Amino acid sequence: MTEQLKYYLRASADIDSRQMERIISCFKFQTVKKNTVLLSEGEICKEFYFINSGCIRTYYITSQGHEKTGYIAFKNSVATSISSFISQQKSFEFVGTLENSELSVISHNDFYQLVNDAPKWEKIYRTLLETAYLFQKKKIENLVTLSAKQRYDLLMTENPGYIQRLSIRYLHPTSI
């Protein structure tokens, strides 16, 4: 499992073996069943997830009780409630698994200790933040400029495997 994480980290920064081992040692392996809530609204996010296999979704529940997907992450990607993780304030979103998942998990404390101690991890963190910003910016632009059908069509063009792998309820045009 650590080989996938190492590959992901090497793609973001040129990490020597000593720093790589330091970083990897901060992650704990976790197997999680499908439909497990990893974080609920109102909790403070204390964990950051690398997905070895499976799928994680961040989502909101409206006052009418409807789920609205914020983000879907698959194998070899990362997920968390980024605003709660950074601010250590209560989350407005939920984080949960959509499939049985194998995760490499790093705690908030270890994550930020690495930011202070490992220069290559700081570069990885900056890349993560930039990627998250660009994703959110594109999502806002699409919500403002495209109809629900256009957003759905765009999702299916950019990520055709989603429809085969996930329930349509997670991909509803008002959720993406």
* Res. 171 pLDDT band, cuts 50 70 90: low
Domains in the chain: boundaries: 2-145
Instruction: Give the CATH number of domain 2-145; options: 3.40.50.720, 2.60.120.10, 3.30.70.860, 1.10.3720.10.
Output: 2.60.120.10
The percentage of the chain sitting over the pLDDT mark of 90, rounded to a whole number, equals 70
**Banded pLDDT at 161 (limits 50, 70, 90):** confident
CA torsion angle 99 136 14 11 (round to 10): 40
Is this model's pTM higher than 0.75 or not?
yes
Confidence grade of residue 7 (pLDDT, cut at 50, 70, 90): very high
Q: What is the pLDDT of residue 51?
A: 97
> Rounded to 10 degrees, what is the CA torsion of 84, 89, 92, 98?
40
> Which range scores top for mean pLDDT: 43-52, 63-72, 128-137, 153-162?
43-52
How sure is the predictor about 154, in pLDDT bands with cuts at 50, 70 and 90? confident
- Site of tokens 């759905």: 152
pLDDT digits (tens, 9 = 90+) for 101-146: 999 999 999 999 999 999 899 999 999 999 989 988 998 898 899 9
What mean pLDDT is reported for the chain?
90
pLDDT of residue 170: 67
Q: Which residues contact 74 (CB under 8 A, 6 or more apart)?
A: 51, 54, 55
**Span of 76-80, 146-150, 168-172 with lowest mean pLDDT:** 168-172
Distance CA 139, CA 103 (A): 26
Rounded to the nearest 5 percent, the helix, strand and coil shares of the chain are 45, 25, 30
Residue 172's pLDDT is 56
Written as six digits, the tokens of 70 are 């914020």
